[in-house]
Amino acid sequence: MDLGLTGRRAAVAAGSAGLGFGSALALANDGAEVVICGRDEAKLKDAVARIGHGTRYVVCDVKDAAGGVEFVEEANRLLGGVDILVCNAAINPHFGSITKVTDEVFDKMMGSNIRSIFWLSNMVLPQMAERKDGAMIIISSIAALRGSNVNGLYGVTKAADAGLGRALAVELARRRARLALVGRDAARLAETARLCTEAGAARVETVAFDLANVEGIEGLVTDIDRRLGETPSLVIHGAGVLLLARVDEYPLAEAQSLMNVNLMAGFALARALVPRLKQKGGTLGFISSGTAYRAVPYQWAYAASKAGIERLAEALRVELAGSPIKVRVVSPGPVGTDMLNKPPAVGSAPMLSRVDTPPSPDSIAPQILAAFAGSRARTDLTMRVRVIRWLSALGAEPFDTILRRRR
């Protein structure tokens, strides 16, 4: 095989075994200069001996930022730069129900399987952009495409808003529901509670809480149970934040916060609620997005979080089959919320521009609630989202061609 890689410089994360080793071997055999990394020096020495071609190694763990920095700095020193980055680092220490995952295991998997990709790309992509040349390869898994009752969290790692939330709350209030409203802004919560009371809610409780605080969600659910006198029969994870930014300009703290709110909070809610709902039954409802199937430029973090939500929901459906708990996902398409109309942007990312007028949260809320109450596991409310999902099934090329023509 001649891929024209002679003289190219490749860095392969987790390259001592499996797909990482196979990738490093293929790159070296085709003429690339290769550096691999891993945690076990003995395995790394054996790997470079088998690969040959002057392949070198770095002992480090890329699950945290320090390890990623060490790998990239050493690769730059040994190779003089990186033309090809292969992100293969991944662990799967938990085999079993996603509701039994401990905080320690969750953090380890998110670090190795998701954050490592972000940190490595953040450090390597700037030099590729400056040269206007380079390739980044991310090793995924079939688990990213279909949920599992034993590998659900692994699938999440491979696939991870006020206006709409308020509209859904008011619509439920019109149906005489008892409501627990959760959000960061106490003043906005109070206004939403007033609207719900006027709409006819049987009871309204407000809890000022930031869902980025994933560790506190178990306590949040306990507090809601106490206030309402029982566990809610419908729980909607509609929280979502969006920041427009290039991958190499995305602040690490902002990326972590977005993932916490959009994805990890959904996991933490499910873990807290499933044991409570197994006897009485109920519905876990998740708001997704068309970006879960195909990301657009500058929205990669949001897209990754929504893809994770899709895989989380699929895993839960498989695990909870036969139980009285329903898991529903709704992709409403663009909705005229503050998040869509005025999303923050950093660096050189352009602001969103729209040629159409998306529906208001109030107009779309009844359809979302009907979908949560229906029999379909997932519902796309617009033809736009359906088309995106269909195109994604054809592979990357058709959709990427459309994006290039629009830019």
What would the DSSP string read from start to end of 21-88? HHHHHHHHHTT-EEEEEES-HHHHHHHHHHH-TT-EEEE--TTSHHHHHHHHHHHHHHHSS-SEEEE-
For residue 59, count CB atoms less than 10 angstroms from its CB and return exposed for 0-12, middle for 13-18, buried for 19 or more.
Answer: middle
Active site (annotated) includes residue 298 = no
Residue 68 neighbours by CB under 8 Å, 6+ apart: 62, 116, 119, 120, 123
404, two tokens: 């290039």
Counting Cα atoms < 13 Å in the Cβ hemisphere of 274 gives: 20
Q: How far, in whole angstroms, is CA 299 from its chain's centroid?
A: 11
Q: What phi-psi label fits residue 132: left (phi over 0), alpha (psi between -120 and 50 degrees) or beta?
A: left
C-alpha radius of gyration, the chain, whole number: 23
CB 388 within 8 A of CB 333: no
- In the block, tokens 């953090």 appear at 107
CB 239 within 8 A of CB 211: yes
Q: Is 395 helix (H, G, I), strand (E, B) or coil?
A: coil
Catalytic residue among 57, 154, 293, 298: 154
366, two tokens: 């009844």
Catalytic residues: 154
